Amino acid sequence: MRKNQRLAIIGGDAAGMSAAVQAKRRNPELDIIVFERGPHTSYSA
């Protein structure tokens, strides 16, 4: 079985998390990992 494509995102604030959610919605097969150096992540749907 082919391994899923892996998307790494650096930064878990407005831009990073908006991208993560949109990418996952379009392609649920995408394996998404986000690295945030701070203690919070955020998102505005």
Partner 1 sequence: MVVTPEEFRDRYGIDARILHEVTEIDLKERRLHVRDLKEGKEHREAFDLLMIATGAVPFCPDVPGSKARGVYGLHSLQSGIRVRDVIDREKPERAVIIGGGYIGLEMAEALIMRGLDVSLVELAAQVMNTLDPDMGSLVSEALMRVGVKLFREESFRSVEVEQDRVQAVVTDRRTLPADIVILGLGVRPNTELAEHAGIALGVRKAIKTNDRMQTNIPGVWAAGDCAESFHLVSRRPVHIALGTIANKQGRVAGINLGGGYATFPGVVGTAVSKICDFEVARTGLQEKEIADLGLDYVAGRIEGMTRASYYPNAGKITVKALAERETGRLLGAQIVGVEGAAKRIDVFATALHAGFDVDEMINLDLSYAPPYSGVWDPVHLAVRRAKAALEEAP
Taking alpha carbons only, the member of 42, 45, 22, 43 closest to residue 32 is 22
CB of 37 to partner 1, least distance (A): 4
Which two structure tokens, joined as six digits, stand for 41? Answer: 């992540």
The answer to the question of residue 2 lying near partner 1 (CB under 8 A) is no
The footprint of partner 1 on this chain (CB under 8 A) covers a number of residues equal to: 39
Asked if 1 touches partner 1 (CB under 8 A), the answer is no
CB of 45 to partner 1, least distance (A): 8
Tokens 């407005």: give the residue: 14
- Go through the chain and tell me how many residues it has: 45
Interacting residues toward partner 1 by CB under 8 A: 5-28, 30-44
